[in-house]
A and B are shown apart, each in its own frame.
Chain A
Amino acid sequence: MLEYRTQGYNGYSVKYSPFFDSRIAVAASANFGLVGNGRVYVLGLTPGGIVADKFFDTQDSLFDVAWSESHENQLLTAGGDGSVKLFDISLSEFPVQSWQEHAREVFAVHWNLVAKDTFLSSSWDGTIKIWNPTASASLATLPTHSCTYSAAFSPHSPSILSSVSSDSHLRIFDLRTPASASNHLTLNMPIHTPPKPRMGAAASVGVPPSEALTHDWNKYRDTILATAGVDRLIRTFDIRAPNAGPIAVLPGHEYAVRRVTWSPHLSDILLSASYDMTCRVWTDGSAMGVGGLKQENMVQQDPMVFGGGREMGRMGRHTEFATGVDWCLFGAEGWCASTGWDERVLVWDCRAIMQ
C-alpha cells in the first residue's frame, strides 16, 4: 500500500488519469471543507513512492475533481464557492478557465466520456449545468430542485446523464429530448422503493427516503446504475424497469456511503467509501458463479439483502471518514486509490482484500 499525506487538507475526491496509469488527482479542503481554502493535488506514482507533481490552491473548499477526457493535462474542480475551474497542469498557479454560475457549493464535476466535448457540474443549488470548455457560459441548466450531490454522464451515450440528490431520487436526463417543460428529464426513480418481495419471504417494510450522496454507471451494462447514501445501503437499478425497485441491495456500511464506483474491468464489481472509515469491495451478484450465499431458512431472509450480492472485502486503513475512491483504468485489474478526512491518499490493490 502506497501512501501520500495531504498535510493540512482533508481529502474529498480522488480520480485516476484516463491517460496515464501513474497520475492521480485529489481534491482536498482545509478544515474538513467547512471553511477555508481548497487544494487540488496532481500526484505521480513513482518507484520512490507517491510524489506531488503539482498542486493548485483555491479560495474555497474543493469537493470533487474530474480529468478532462480530451486533454491529458487538464482537470476540473468543484468549488465550495459555486465555481467550476479548469486547470492545466503544465501551467503554474491559476486556472485556465473559471465558471461562476452555481449559487451554492458544487459537489460533482464529470466529463462526457463519449463526446468528450462537454462536461457537467451539480450543486447544492438544485441544478445540474452542462458546459463546453471553450464557452464562457453554461450550455444548459437542468433543475433537480434538491441538493444534488452527484451527477454523471453515461459512459455509453453522449447525451444521457444522471443524478442523485438529497430528495432520495435517481434522475435520468436525455439531452436529445426537446427542452420542454420537463427540462430533458426522462426518468425520476425513488431510490427508497423497497425491493419486490420474493416468494416465501416476508415483504420488506417501507424504508423512509434519505439523502443519496453518490452514484455511478456500470461500465459494461448500459442500463445499470448503482446508488448509495445516508441510509448506508448500496443499491443497483436497471433503468429499463424504473418501477421495479432496486435489483440488488447491499447492506453493510455502518455509516453513510460517500462514494461508489463500478470496476472498469469487471461488470459486477463495485468499490465504495464511507463515513464508517472503510472502503469496501462488492459484487452485485450479477456475474456467473459469484451468486450470493443462500440463506438457509427462506422465511428468515432479510428482505433488504437482495439480489444475491455480497461484500467481498474491506480496506480499513483510513482513520477518518473515507470520502473518495477510484479505480485505475490500466494494468492489472484491482488497483485503486482512496482518500479521506485523515489527510491521506492510499493506493492499494483490492485483490489483496477480496475473499
Chain B
Amino acid sequence: MANQTGRGQQAQERLSQVSNHLSGGSSRKGKQSLLEKNPDDVVVTCALRTPFTKGGKGGFKDTQSADLLIGAFKALIQRSGIDPSLVEDIAVGTVLAPGGGATEFRAAALAAGFPVTTSTKSLNRQCSSGLQACVDIANAIKAGVIEIGVGAGTESMSTQYGPNAVSEFSEQLEAHKEAANCKVPMGVLSEKMAKAKGIPRSEQDAFAAKSFQKAIEAQKNGLFDQEIAPLTVKWTDPKTEEEKEITVSKDDGVREGITAESLGKIRPAFSKDGSIHAGNASQISDGAAAVLLMKRSTAERLGQTIIGKYVQASIVGVPPLLMGVGPAAAIPVVLEKTGLDKSEVDIYEINEAFASQCLYCINELGLDQNKINPKGGAIAFGHPLGVTGARQVSTLLTELKRTGKNIGVTSMCIGTGMGMAAVWVAE
C-alpha cells in the first residue's frame, strides 16, 4: 500500500528492480562483456610474490614457510598502501605444512602487520591451493561475506617436503582401485602418461629448454622485477656453517645456457627407459605469493590502483593416474562459462609440473605455443606447491599489462587427479 512515509524506500526498490533487469541475463558472455567495467567486479589491486629459490640449497632453505608469508604480506601492505585493518579475511594455500599451517599463518598475518580483526584460514587443494585461495576470497567478496581480502600461498619445500606429507592408506582406500591410485607418486604416473600419450623425450626437453630460455631472457630484461618483492632472511652457508643475513631478490633456479641437447644428457629419474628427469620437471622450491582482492567500487573509493579483475574459475576431476591432463579438462570449462574462444585469450599461464603433461595439454587444446608461459614456468624457476596458483596471478597480470593485452587464463594440474583454471582480465 502506498503511503507517504514509504516513498523513499519504494523509489529505491523500483530503481533496483530496473537495474536488476539491466544487469541480469545469462547471455552476457564473451570478450566484450568481460572487458566491461562494473562496480561489482572483483578486482586485483596488488599481486606480488617473493623470489622462488631452490629447495635445500637456495636462498630460503633455512626460512620457515610462515616467514616467507610474512615477507609477502608486508610487501603487499607496503606496495598497495592498503590500510591493513580494512582487510577482513586472508586465505593461504599451502600443501606440506603440518596441520595445514593454520596456526602459523594466522600468527604470520599478525606479525606482518594485520590487526587481530583480520581473520586467516589455510587451505589445501594440492598444487592449485594458491589459486583456490584467490578464488575463495573472490567468491566471498562476490557473495558479500567480506569486502576486502587476500588470497595467498606459501610453501617451504626445503623444510617440509618429505615422506610425511601423506599418512598411511587405510585398507578401504587400498581396496578401492581408483582410490589407491591417488597415492601413486606423480613422477611415476606422469612417466606412464607420457608413454601412453606418446610424448617423446625430445619434445619434452625442447619444451623445458624453452622454458629456461624464456625465463632467463625475462630475468635479464627485468620482467620479474615488478612482481617480485625482495626478502631479507637468515641463511646458513653450507661450507662455513656461518649464519648470515642475505637479501634474495631474484629466482635462483633459473639457469643460463640450457638447451634441448644439454637436457638430453640427464639420466631419467623414475625408470631407466623413461623420459622425465630433473631438467624437464618442475623444480622443488621455496616461496610465497599474495593477491589483494576487493570490489571495483571499493577500490575506487579507497583510491587503490586496479591492475586486473577476476572473472571466473573452473574445477574438474580427472582419473588420478592421468592427473596431468587436468588443465586440458579445466580450461574448456572456464572458457565455456565465460563465453570465450580459446583464440581470444592472450596469455595462458599453465603450470609446468612436468614438460610432458603441460605439452600434452597444449596439444590437446590446440593452443598457440607463443601464448603459453611467455616468461617461462615452473621448470625454470620452480613450483612451490601451494604458491603457484597465486604466483601465476602476478606473473600473468604484469605480462598482460606490459604487452598491452588483456585476457589471461591461469591453470594447473592437481595431484590425485583434478584440474583448475581461472580467467583474469588485466586493466
Residues of chain A having any CB pair with chain B under 8 Å: 32-35, 59-61, 80-82, 100, 103, 105, 147, 205, 207-208, 210-211, 213, 229-233, 251, 255-256, 258, 275, 304
Contacts and interface: CB of A to CB of B under 8 A. Distances in A.
B116 to A, nearest CB: 40
Contacts of B27: 231-233, 251, 304
Contact of A232 (B2, B10, B17, B25): B25
Nearest to B27: A232
Given A82-B1, A233-B27, A275 B21 contact: yes
A105 B14 contact: yes
B22 A275 contact: yes
B343 interface: no
B21 A231 contact: no
Given A34-B11, A207-B26, A233-B27, A103 B1 contact: yes
Contacts of A100: 1
B1 A211 contact: no
Nearest to B23: A230
Interface of B: 1-2, 7, 10-11, 14-15, 17-18, 20-22, 24-27, 336
Contacts of A255: 21-22, 25
6 contacts: A32-B18, A80-B10, A82-B1, A213-B21, A230-B20, A256-B24
A207 B27 CA distance: 9
B7 A35 contact: yes
Nearest to B2: A81
Contact of B21 (A61, A207, A211): A211
Contact of B24 (A103, A230, A304): A230
Contacts of A59: 2
B261 to A, nearest CB: 44
B182 to A, nearest CB: 30
B15 A34 contact: yes
Contacts of A210: 24-26
Contacts of B26: 207-208, 210, 231
Contacts of A208: 26
Residue from B11, B25, B26, B336 having most chain A Cβ neighbours under 10 A: B25
Given A82-B2, A231-B27, A275-B22, 14 more contacts: A34-B14, A35-B11, A35-B14, A210-B24, A210-B25, A210-B26, A211-B20, A230-B24, A230-B25, A231-B24, A231-B25, A233-B27, A255-B25, A304-B27
A60 B14 CA distance: 13
B25 A256 contact: yes
Contacts of B20: 211, 230
Given A33-B14, A34-B15, A251-B27, A230 B1 contact: no
Contact residues of B: prevailing secondary structure = helix
A103 B1 CA distance: 5
A33 B336 CA distance: 38
Contacts of A33: 14
B194 to A, nearest CB: 31
A211 B19 CA distance: 12
Given A208-B26, A210-B26, A230 B21 contact: yes
Contacts of B10: 35, 80
A114 B27 CA distance: 38
Contacts of B2: 59-60, 80-82
B396 to A, nearest CB: 27
A216 B415 CA distance: 54
Nearest to B21: A256
Nearest to A103: B1
A100 B14 CA distance: 20
A208 B11 CA distance: 28
Residue from B7, B17, B20, B336 whose CB has the most chain A CB atoms within 10 Å: B17
B392 to A, nearest CB: 27
Nearest to A125: B1
A344 B144 CA distance: 40
Contacts of A211: 20-21, 24
A59 B7 CA distance: 12
Contacts of B17: 147
A207 B234 CA distance: 55
A81 B15 CA distance: 15
Contacts of A258: 21
B316 to A, nearest CB: 15
B378 to A, nearest CB: 33
A59 B27 CA distance: 38
Nearest to B28: A232
Contacts of A35: 7, 10-11, 14
Nearest to A258: B21
A94 to B, nearest CB: 18
B84 to A, nearest CB: 37
Nearest to B11: A35
A210 B23 CA distance: 11
A127 B11 CA distance: 21
A104 to B, nearest CB: 9
A81 B3 CA distance: 8
B331 to A, nearest CB: 16
B37 to A, nearest CB: 17
A251 B27 CA distance: 9
A149 to B, nearest CB: 9
A349 B336 CA distance: 40
A213 B21 CA distance: 9
A249 to B, nearest CB: 11
A236 B11 CA distance: 33
A258 B18 CA distance: 11
A82 B2 CA distance: 7
A138 to B, nearest CB: 15
Contacts of B22: 255-256, 275
A80 B263 CA distance: 76
A258 B25 CA distance: 13
3 shortest interchain CB distances as A-B pairs: A81-B2, A230-B24, A35-B11
A25 to B, nearest CB: 22
Contacts of B24: 210-211, 230-231, 256
